[in-house]
Amino acid sequence: MRRILAIAAFIVLLTPSIWFAWRNRQMPQLGEAHDDAIYHIVSKALAEGKGYRITSLPNAPFETKYPPVMIWMLAAIWRINPQFPDNLTLVTTLQWAMIPPFLWLSLVWFKRLGLSASQRWIGLALLAVGPYTVVFGAGIFTEVLFGLLLMASLIACEEARTRETGWPWAAAAGFLAGLGYLTRTAGIAAIVGVPLVFVLWKKRREAAAFVLAALPAAAGWTLWTKLHQTSAADVMTLYNTNYLRFQILNVHFADLGLVVWKNLGHMLYGMGALAFPLELDSFAWQLVRMTVAVGIFRGLSRHWRNPVLQPYLVIAILTAAELLVWHFPPNLRLMYPLIPLFAAGLIWEGEHFASLIRAARGHRQRSQRAAAWVLSGMAASAILLAGWMQGYMLFRTLPDMVRDNERQLAEQTAVYDWINQHVDPSAAIMASNPALYLYTGRQTAAQILMPIDWYRDDKGSVMAAYRDLAAYAAANRLAYLYIRDSEYGKMLGPEQAEEARRAVETNPSLRLVFRTHDATVFQAVTPLSSFRR
């Protein structure tokens, strides 16, 4: 009976992601995250025998940025159904199918960690109904697949630790970590960190087995990218093909302190979204979110001696170190594979806080008992607020997101139809959404704004990029420019965004040729332009 109830509860927790995946099965948001469309584009090229290339970009360089596991899986879907966008329904099915095993493995890991049954289900609920998990089941993302492989690797590590002959399990853990690295290059943290933990456990044979099993994936992908890396050094190519060189281009030693400081604030704020997912623009709300993050740290620090926790902790520390110096502010999406760890820390800290309140309620001093009741009320209010926010995200924000995605796709379809009718098939188009290539067959590249300008709050450089947009298009052989009004405000305030829009629209080298409610298509008036008369 208990097992039946557990299965029923598991299915109930899957309901939000099932609904969202079904409602969003045609992926109207494809390309909004940029990398999702790139994955589908490269997998299409692979399925069609064109090689592991970003065929949407001018010159179609090899894809040396995103590793191949997800792309291999998507290529299989292209072979099953080569019709786009019809095959997106199959892609959605594939993406959602990764959620149940990820949640189940997280539940297994919670049990090995020593959490009680109620604590395990609280942790599972935080994972299952969290908006990131729900959204990841209806889009092309690597986070859940990587999380699944990471949890499986961690469980295999625990088997290797507890068995007298543990090296076969360590080898299995290394193989899974290698697959994780071929899913997300951030998986290097597991390949580096777990062997150190095996050495700490005085299991050198297991450490060697892990490394040897993970090495082929890490070395193979690294070697392949070195052999196929393009020699082009322009910003657009580096952004699309080379993580490291684009990082070096943005983050210099003089900026490192600024980048780390801003990223730390975003990291703490993002961790707090585990309990309070709603985005509110206020300093007080930042403090609330960061308090949750501090609670997670405190909960984990009290249990760091737990050997089941140690591999995950080391991976988290290495991942955090990478994210702190990276040229993008870390949010819960970038930290998603660490959410089971964060959930455990939050649960432990919540239990510790509750024990302090219980002890204070029985204190001899009346003031201590009164303070305990006040804190009890605050804790209960926080729990109710967290529950309300989770419900608001599920029943209001996510349905609104679906409707917004469908509206945006309708707007984009009008642009795609115009392009199909008026733009020469050989013409390349500047667009922030690479899915334009899938809908029109025209090669496309985005305008690349330098992230370091955001860290420096250098709005002058951002404005200069918009003023020089015609030159950027000419340098990258982009004959048309498709810009949505909302894009001007990505790194600018409202007034400056309007100024940037006017700078583009009044540029004599750009001619407005098509307009929708919220987007404009320009023709680059240069000798490089190619269009149908």
Reported as a single tens digit per residue, the pLDDT across 175-231 is 999 999 999 999 999 999 999 999 999 999 999 999 999 999 999 999 999 999 998
Residue 526 confidence (pLDDT): 63
CA distances from 318 to 188, 313, 470 (A): 9, 9, 41
Q: List beta partners, residue 62.
A: 53
293/298 Cα distance (integer angstroms): 9
pLDDT exceeds cutoff 80 at 138: yes
For residue 63, give every residue at least 6 positions away whose Cβ sits within 8 Å of its Cβ, in sequence order, or none.
38, 42, 52, 53, 54, 71, 241
The alpha carbon of residue 354 and the mean position of all alpha carbons in its chain are separated, in whole angstroms, by 33
For residue range 374-399, what is the model confidence (pLDDT) as tens digits? 888 888 888 999 999 999 998 899 99
- Of 422, 402, 390, 116, nearest to 278 by C-alpha is 390
pLDDT exceeds cutoff 60 at 528: no
38/55 Cα distance (integer angstroms): 9
Q: Which amino acid is at 381?
A: S
> Domain residue spans in the chain?
244-361, 405-524
State the average pLDDT over residues 103-129: 95
Query: Whole-model pTM?
Result: 0.93
Q: What's the mean pLDDT when you consider all of the chain?
A: 93
Asked if residue 61 has a cis previous peptide bond (ω within 30° of 0), the answer is: no
State the average pLDDT over residues 387-413: 91
pLDDT exceeds cutoff 50 at 481: yes
pLDDT exceeds cutoff 80 at 532: no
HEC string of 195-240 equals HHHHHHCCCHHHHHHHHHHHHHHHHHHHHHHHHHCCCCCCHHHHHH
The helix (H) or strand (E) run that includes residue 455 is helix 451-455
- Tokens encoding 230: 């393009």
- Tokens encoding 447: 């305008």
Residue 484 per-residue DSSP state: E
Residues 348/116, Cβ–Cβ less than 8 Å: no
Residue 241 banded pLDDT, cuts 50, 70, 90: very high
